[in-house]
Structure 1
Amino acid sequence: MDIEQLIALIDGFKQFPQIKRETTLFDIGSRGHFENPMTEVLSFFCNTTEVHGMNDLVISSIVSLIRQNAIYESLQYAQAHGKPQREVTTKNNKRIDLLLNSDEWVIAIESKVNHQQINPFDEYEAYVDSLIRTKKAVNKDNDLTDETEKQAVFVILSPDGKVDNVHLHPRWCGISFQQLVNEIKKRLQQHFFDAPFNKWYLVLKDFLLHLENLVNDEEQNSAQEEFVLTHLGEISQAWNLLKNTLQSVQQKAHTKLEQHPELNGILRSQKSSWFGLPTTILYSKDEMTEAVLFATGVPSVDIADDDPRNAGKHIFIQIHIQTDDEELELESIHESLANKAVNHWYSGGSKCFRWPVNELSIEGITKEFVSTFEAINNLSPLSLNK
């Protein structure tokens, strides 16, 4: 791969929009993107008797979207009654995510976020049909009446609002997250002309933002996946070029320090891998000091956010000094290191310092890494021009 091809590849990747994702309450923890927590919140707002005070705003939004599908365009608006049912168990112990009931319909909703639609849809249909046909209540919390007049409705709620196999499952219709968000927002505007503001409005607003984030995440991931698969060969070559370049720095630093007369040809070192990239670790004879040269493609939070001097940096030097002095200053080790440290911390009996490398050339990186190792071990500077 020549430089022009590499630049073109990088330029192509840079074309992807960088979406700034606003954090929501549902991002706290690690399960906000799962179907169950999402459906729990939806169930709460579909309960017309709950404390949110929005009556049937969310259910009527869902019914309105269902009516946009040809197979359900005659579906009647009706006041839901009873508590929405979660994880409804069928005859064969399969579970329907959400079941809504009124005098006109029984709506079964399956929420899908990042999973394929491999649910037993035929069994769900048979279960709901059985409820209507036999006039049975969904469970003891429901008080369903006149089931014979009800219409069975089946919905996939997902980021793209598509039913994977319409021909195989013709009774199912799709609603996208964005469709649901838009419909609820439209109705919320009128709702707050007629009702006082309350905290549940903020919760619902955050939930809608969470759904929009899931849509944006999926769209961005799909575009990136297509780019990677299309340019797999070039990306592989670029990755190998990166690793070979870092290994070249490793070799040059090792070779230079082996020539140092004060080390007597003995250099303790370790080749490692941080962030999936070649990393060099050099030790002093007594292992009281370590110097680490590492690179990271995507800086971790503690590197990126601790100081603006780390912004846009990807190659770092990090040193570890075994000491009881948690307040140890870098300049007290060697004057040449004064003002270098961007981050410092104390951990496991060692004072640690880290800073980005600014001169991005093989010679520049090698020179700074070698001189850092010399400084923390009180070695005389070695000419790198030899």
Structure 2
Amino acid sequence: MANDTDAQFEKLLSEFELFPIPSQTYLELCRYPNRRYEEITSRLLAFFLQPKEEHGLTDLLLSSLLELIPLKIDAIDTSDIAVDLEVDASGKRLDILIQGRNFVIGIENKITAPLDNPLDKYKTLMIEQNKEFQGIVLSVNPIRSEDGINDMKGNDFINILYSSWFEKIKQNIGYFLVDGGNRYTIFLYDFMNTINNKESSLGRYPMSRFFLENYDRIDSLIDQFNKFKCDKDERYFERLSGYRESLNNSQEEWWIYGKDVLGVEIYFRSNDIDIDIGIESGFLPSSQSIFGSFRYRVTSWDKDSSTYITNKIVDALIKEYPHLNRENLVPHGNNCVSIWVETIELSGDSLDKHEDEDKKIIEKLKKLFNFINNFC
């Protein structure tokens, strides 16, 4: 039974590795909350839909959108366009209103929220402009509810998917891609990829379908992995606790953070500045054992201590540990630096060798502590 489960998990991982991992877009990195997501996207749309804005894409987005709209006009005039956001409609707000010389388009933008807006009031607003009009519910996923479909039909709205619009844009964007100096083309693609990733998260793309089709097995795999991690951390903690006990016999105050990091801090003053130098250490797993190797580093957690390490301690460490050089000094976190002093390869789960390895590790940590303490 265990072998069957292992084989299923191995097959699952092999299938997963076939999918490209999507990279985050710039907009995704901004982490806009869902309740403001439609507001943010509407602002971006308004910018790109206005042909005279500085993006230099002229009417690319507007003309691509118009190709999807059944406006009853022989010649649509896009020479004088107004794009407004949050337009009042009898006390309600229409997300985007586009007006040309001979047409008006109202857009209700739907990213994640359901369609429960007063489309009748939006229709009245468009009629009042005395032009050929069309209402659009622009959405990530098709509007499928019977109430939503009937509401759109009764108020001259149609449902256009972002994916359909983006496909038109990509068909028409050729000229602007030749002009590689237009940074707004990059911004536009980032925006489109952000929306496409929203579609992906809702099951429209192959990786999402893979997750949905294998939901229970993936859930079981994650559960087993989390149990493995808990067991690993407990075994790390048990072994590190022995190190801490031996090291603290020397009147040092070593601590364990998060069950898998053994460390100590060395406080002193230099030129009337408080300095806090740390030593951190821990195990790394290999493909064969959770005890693949053990490594330790000198580190800092503030700017002054980082400067002290960079200007004084590193050169001394290089003399004491000749395999090191300044390229081993790396930044981490905010205004912090560290230098990994050594990685010790271990025998894995061979308990008969653990005692000798433990003695070796403890001696190396003592040596580094004494070196830093005496230097400072």
Q: TM-score, normalised by structure 2?
A: 0.65
Name the residue aligned to 2:289: none
- 1:43 has 2:46 as partner: yes
The one of 194, 209, 230 equivalent to 1:243 is 230
Q: Which moved more, 1:167-176 or 1:331-340?
A: 331-340
* RMSD between superposed Cα atoms in Å: 4.8
- Output the CA distance in 2 between the equivalents of 1:39 and 1:58: 13
Q: For 1:349 and 1:19, locate their aligned partners in 2 and report how far apart those are by CA, in whole Å.
A: 31
* Equivalence map 1:83-232=2 (5 Å): 83-92=82-91, 94-102=92-100, 105-113=103-111, 115-117=112-114, 119-121=115-117, 123=118, 125-133=119-127, 135=128, 144=129, 146-147=130-131, 150-158=132-140, 161-170=141-150, 171=152, 172-189=157-174, 202-216=183-197, 218-219=199-200, 222=203, 223=208, 226=212, 230-232=217-219
* 100 and 256 in structure 1: CA distance in 2 versus 1, 3 angstrom threshold: closer
Q: Give the 3 Å change call, closer, same or farther, for CA 351–64 of structure 1 in structure 2.
A: closer
Match of 2:21? 19
Q: Please say which of residues 314-323 and 34-43 is displaced more in the overlay.
A: 314-323
Classify the secondary structure of the residue corresponding to 2:113: coil
Partner SS for 1:18: coil
Q: Aligned AA for 2:64?
A: S
Alpha-carbon deviation of 1:120? 3.4
Q: Tell me, in whole angstroms, the C-alpha distance in 2 between the residues paired with 1:315 and 1:167.
A: 62
SS of 2:67's equivalent in the other structure is helix
In structure 1, runs of 5+ residues without a counterpart are 136-143, 298-312, 380-386
| Aligned-partner Cα distance in 2 for 1:198–1:374 | 58
One-letter amino acid matched to 2:171: K
Deviations 1:153-202 (A, max 9, x none): 222232xx42252543331543333322221232233x669xx9596x54
**TM-superposition CA deviations, 1:354-381 (whole Å, max 9, x none):** 37857473679975854542221349xx
Q: Which has the higher contact order (CA 8 A, sep 6+)?
A: 1
Work out the CA distance in 2 between the residues paired with 1:374 and 1:38. 57
Q: CA deviation at 1:265?
A: 7.9
Task: Report the equivalent of 1:326.
Answer: 310
Q: Report which stretch shifted further, 236-245 or 37-46.
A: 37-46
CA contact (8 A) 2:55 2:184 kept: no
* Aligned sequence identity (%): 13
Identify unmatched segments of 5+ residues in structure 2: 269-275, 286-291, 372-376
* Number of equivalences: 329
For normalisation by structure 1, the TM-score amounts to 0.64
Report the alpha carbon displacement of residue 286 of structure 1 after superposing the two structures with TM: 7.7
> What amino acid sits opposite 2:236 in the alignment?
V
3-state DSSP class of the match of 1:241?
helix
* 2:324 corresponds to which of 339, 354, 362: 339
Secondary structure of 1:319's aligned partner: strand
Relative to structure 1, is the Cα distance of residues 350 and 45 closer, same or farther in structure 2, using a 3 angstrom cutoff?
A: closer
Q: Which amino acid aligns with 1:19?
A: I
